[in-house]
Structure formats: C-alpha cells, structure tokens
Amino acid sequence: MFAYSGNDFYCEQVPLADLAAHVGTPAYVYSSETILTNFRAYDEAFGDLPHTVCYAVKANSSLAILAMLARAGAGFDIVSGGELFRVLQAGGDPAKVVFSGVGKTPDEVEYALGHGIHAFNCESEAELALIDAKAERLGVKAGFAIRVNPDVDASTHPYISTGLHQHKFGIAIQEAPAVYERARRFRNLTAEGVSCHIGSQMLDPAPIFEALEKALALAAQLRAEGSPIRHLDLGGGLGVAYHQGETAPPIGPFIEKVRERLRACGLTVVVEPGRSIVGPAGVLLARVLYRKRNGAKEFVIVDAAMNDLIRPALYHAHHEIVPVRKNSLPPVTADVVGPVCESGDFLARDRRMANVMPGDFVAVCTAGAYGFVQSSNYNSRLRAPEVLVEGAGYRIIRCRERLEDLVRGETL
C-alpha cells in the first residue's frame, strides 16, 4: 500500500523519505501487505473450488517474498532450475510447483524430478521423451500437462504476447489430442493436466476466457478418451494499472468468473499470476542528482538507470514517477534519465511531473514485478538493495551490492 499522508509518500506506515535516507538509493521497496492482499484475492475468490495459486517466480524472486507467499499457501510456477532452488530455499512446497518454459535442460529436468515437483508444463514431444527418460532413471513418475497454444490474441505488447501460433510457445491445440495419445507410450509419465498461458499485462481478461473455453473443451475430450487429466492451468497474465487513473481488472471478480465457469468441471484449477500479485506492491526509489536543459528539453537526472529498471527502455513501459515529498513548485515536462551511457537509458520521456530538485527523492511506481529481476550490472553499476515493509517497520531483504560483488568469480 503506497499513499500520501500530507506531503509525504508512505509505504504502509513507513515514510519513504526516511527509508531512502537510511537505506540509500536506488532501492526497491515492497509492501508485504499489498503482496499478501493480492495473493489472498486469488486464493479466496476460488472459494471451495479445488485450486492452486502458483505464483510466477520470474516476476519477483526475492527469497523473503517467496517465503511469505509459501507461508500463505502459495504454489509456484518456475521456469528454471535456479527458480526451483530459490523456492526450496524459501521453504516452498515442491509438490505445489509447476515447471514452465520451452527450453528445459536435462539437468533442470533431473533436479525438478529429484524434488518431486507437481507437474511439467511441456512444450514439445522431445521434452516429453526427455522427462520420461530421466524419470525412468530416477525410478519416479512425472506429472505433465501439455502447454497448448490456443491461437488467441492477448492484445498486449508483442514481446509479452505468447498465445498465437507464430509464437515459440506451446503445442498447437489442434495437435494436442494426438500428442497426449502418443504420450501414453511413455511409461513414466502421467497426464496430470492441460495448461495454457497467452500473454502478460492483459487489461481485458476476455482473451483469457477465450483460451479457457478451448483448454476446457480439450480437457473434457481427453478425459472422455480415458486420460486421467486432473487439472486445468490457465497461466498468468492479468494486468495492472501503470498509468495514473487507469483501471486494471480486479482479481476477485475475475477469479469468481473463472470459478463459476469451472464449478462443475471436476478439475483442480491452477493459475500462475506474477505481475498482478507483486507489480503494484513495489516502487523503485531514486535520488535526483542533477537538473539540466539541452535546448528546449528538460532533464531530471536520477541515480537509478536502465540497469535497475529496464522496462521503459525495453517495452516503452510507462511507470508513474512521483516525489517522495511534495513541494509547491509548478510542474515541469522532463525526461527522467539515469547515468548509463546510452540514449535508451530513460525512465520516462516528456513527462509532466513534479518539479523535483537535486537531492530530492522520487518513487518510480508499480515496479514490484519484472523490476529487480531484470536488473543487471551494466556499466558496472551495483545492483540495488530490496527492502520489505511490514506495517511500521521494514527490513533489508537483499543488500546493496558492493564493489567486490562486481568481480566475484572473475580472474585476471
């Protein structure tokens, strides 16, 4: 929960100016209350319909956040062995893990089988063969779902749209019945479910329901043909409001509609939300270093850059930027840029915003998802710390990197 009280911007009961002064900038700050509220909105809206909310670890994989979600009962959607390691470190239950992704390596498959994950969301027949061979060697049974590509347009940014047949993801839904049929010859595999995920940052959930209908029809057909099929995995993708005044589909009513549609289907429902749980729960705090003018253009130069938050540079994503303490100056129109040496290093362009001055702190909003996880050491910049606010207190859940961290593992 982020809001102004008077002129000061707060995360829960913590004034962010105080936090920034203590922890330094740039820094990611998360509200534990918002994360839990969003997770529970999913969990509770399912009511008594059997379900698992598998949080998409890729959105924000901090151990403290994973641990908090694990305690609240979450399962996890992972896309690498590294993410499974994090889930295990955080105390997550491997029996509630689904493993997605087009390029699982043999080592990753073995690692996941060794920990008894719930299911693999498989994206090719070669992958099924690999999992079967590995399961045979380990003497275990592997649950799988085919990730079907329903050829539904998610109407979102092309880089994060995944459900059309030109995308690399999934197996065309028309081919799926034959693939499930052929998979019966793999003695170490169990057809646990049907899965799909059509894209991210969807502000209109209609395409998710379109995909749901197709996946549900497939599950019914497979069951009629004698497949065990116990779950339907709808993926993630619900969008969040990045622009002030924009409205995102609320989680509760969305899931209630899913619940009503699937009430009588006899399947456990799995969802894999990431952004809608953590996105609105985080900000990136930065300090204004300089102001400058080049011709007609006004620049606000801050100490956070594209290496800290790449979404504006990579997807032309919009993040609101607000002052941590309001002043009474008239607003300006400026580019908010960082110290990285390229013109693509911007957090906002031609933005009507508060007239912040050197030394002031700003908050780059809605940065809890795909923020820190996509950060890098580009320009040999130290990665920012992460801070978790809990009511009136906060703790550093990841330290700011030090210079020695930059060269760890390197030799002359």
Give catalytic residues, as residue numbers. 341
Token couple for 61: 């994989």
Which residues 6+ apart lie within 8 Å of 318 measured at CB?
242, 243, 312, 348
**Sign of the Cα pseudo-torsion (19, 30, 392, 12, in order):** positive
Kindly identify the residues of this chain, within the stretch 87-116, that bind ligand LLP according to CB under 6 A.
100
The residue with its CB nearest to ligand LLP is 236
Is 202 or 397 the residue whose CB approaches ligand LLP more closely? Answer: 202
Kindly identify the residues of this chain, within the stretch 7-46, that bind ligand LLP according to CB under 6 A.
none
Task: Show the site string, 175-204: x = touches ligand LLP by CB under 6 A, - = not.
Answer: ----------------------x--xx---
End-to-end CA distance of the chain: 47
Kindly identify the residues of this chain, within the stretch 300-329, that bind ligand LLP according to CB under 6 A.
311, 315
Among 92, 193, 237, 249, binds ligand LLP (CB under 6 A): 237
User: Quick check: 232 binds ligand LLP (CB under 6 A)?
Assistant: no
Among 275, 319, 325, 351, binds ligand LLP (CB under 6 A): 275
Alpha-carbon distance 213 to 332, whole Å? 48
Alpha-carbon distance 49 to 40, whole Å? 15
User: Quick check: 207 binds ligand LLP (CB under 6 A)?
Assistant: no
Alpha-carbon distance 292 to 304, whole Å? 17
User: Quick check: 280 binds ligand LLP (CB under 6 A)?
Assistant: no
Among 150, 274, 282, 338, binds ligand LLP (CB under 6 A): 274
User: Quick check: 60 binds ligand LLP (CB under 6 A)?
Assistant: no
Least spacing, CB of residue 47 vs ligand LLP, in Å: 21
Binding window for ligand LLP (CB under 6 A); candidates: 38-46, 231-239, 350-358, 402-410:
231-239
Is 197 or 351 the residue whose CB approaches ligand LLP more closely? Answer: 197
- Count helices and strands (H / E) in the chain: 12, 21
Query: Cα 377 to the chain's mean position, in Å?
Result: 21
Contact of 317 with 74, CB cutoff 8 Å: no
Contact of 75 with 269, CB cutoff 8 Å: no
Least spacing, CB of residue 313 vs ligand LLP, in Å: 11
Among 370, 385, 386, 394, binds ligand LLP (CB under 6 A): 370
Least spacing, CB of residue 11 vs ligand LLP, in Å: 21
- In Å, how far are 86, 87, 193, 238, 247 from 37, measured between CA atoms? 22, 20, 28, 15, 17
Work out the angle at residue 359's Cα, subtended by the Cα atoms of residues 357 and 361, and round it to the nearest 5 degrees. Answer: 85
Question: Which H helix or E strand runs over 56?
Answer: strand 51-56
**Sign of the Cα pseudo-torsion (245, 248, 250, 253, in order):** positive
Is 144 or 394 the residue whose CB approaches ligand LLP more closely? Answer: 144
User: Quick check: 163 binds ligand LLP (CB under 6 A)?
Assistant: no
User: Quick check: 59 binds ligand LLP (CB under 6 A)?
Assistant: yes
User: Quick check: 227 binds ligand LLP (CB under 6 A)?
Assistant: no
User: Quick check: 75 binds ligand LLP (CB under 6 A)?
Assistant: no
Least spacing, CB of residue 371 vs ligand LLP, in Å: 8
User: Quick check: 160 binds ligand LLP (CB under 6 A)?
Assistant: yes
Is 186 or 370 the residue whose CB approaches ligand LLP more closely? Answer: 370
Kind of pairing between the strands at 346-353 and 332-337: antiparallel
Alpha-carbon distance 33 to 42, whole Å? 14
Token couple for 172: 């065309």
Is 23 or 53 the residue whose CB approaches ligand LLP more closely? Answer: 53
Binding site for ligand LLP (CB under 6 A): 56, 59, 77, 100, 160, 197, 200-201, 235-238, 272-276, 311, 315, 369-370
